[in-house]
Amino acid sequence: MNLRTLAVFVIGLAAASAVPAQGLRAQANIPFSFVVSGKTLPAGEYNVRRGTSPDTMIIRGVKHGEGAFTAFVPTTVPSARQGTARLVFHRYGNQYFLSEVWTRGGQGEQIPPTRLERELIAQGNNPNHFVVVALR
């Protein structure tokens, strides 16, 4: 890599990190532990925001600082439910898996199932949807 290419890369990286993530920035009080990207996070208050890369999201605990970084698939919702910003979890017994994040405008992100969730489904378990308090 020549010096000019390296300089362009460093300037681009610096510019990208200086620009705040666009779109989703919200908080939610999640009253149970849950799994996202294969990591179990404890119950508590969480900040939810878009990551710096396209189609990524960061979820971090407000008080305990634990968090996860996940990829998602953008989706939309019929206009009848557009006004509700929310987190949707799949529940299997007492295990919760973050499944979807929705904004007030009806834009949503579906989070791919983890390996454990896919195993539960393969064993014939059907998820129950559980909607947490609205994002604020």
3-state DSSP assignment of residue 131:
strand
CA pair distance 6, 9, nearest whole angstrom? 5
Residue 12 lies in a domain: no
pLDDT averaged over every residue in the chain: 74
Domain annotation covers residue 53 = yes
129 vs 35, more confident: 35
The band of 132, judged by pLDDT with boundaries at 50, 70 and 90, is confident
Alpha helices in the chain, H assignment, sequence order: 3-18, 115-122
Is 17 a domain residue?
Answer: no
pLDDT at 117: 94
Residue 66 · residue 41 · CB < 8 Å: yes
Q: What is the pTM of this model?
A: 0.72
The mean per-residue pLDDT over the stretch 125-130 comes to 85
Closest by CA to 57, choosing from 86, 37, 34, is 37
Q: Would you say 61 and 48 are in contact if contact means Cβ atoms under 8 Å apart?
A: no
User: Sorting pLDDT into bands at 50, 70 and 90, what band is 17?
Assistant: very low
Give domain status of residue 110, yes or no.
Answer: yes
40 pLDDT above the threshold of 50: yes
In a domain, 106, yes or no: yes
Does 11 reside within a domain?
Answer: no
Q: How many domains would you assign to the chain?
A: 1
Residue 63 is assigned to a structural domain of this protein: yes
Domain residue limits at 85: 23-131
The span from the CA of 22 to the CA of 44, in Å, is 24
Is 3 domain-assigned? no
More confident residue, 25 or 67: 25
- The CA distance from 18 to 7, in Å, is 16
50-108 pLDDT tens trace: 888 778 888 888 888 777 766 666 666 554 556 678 888 999 988 999 988 887 777 78
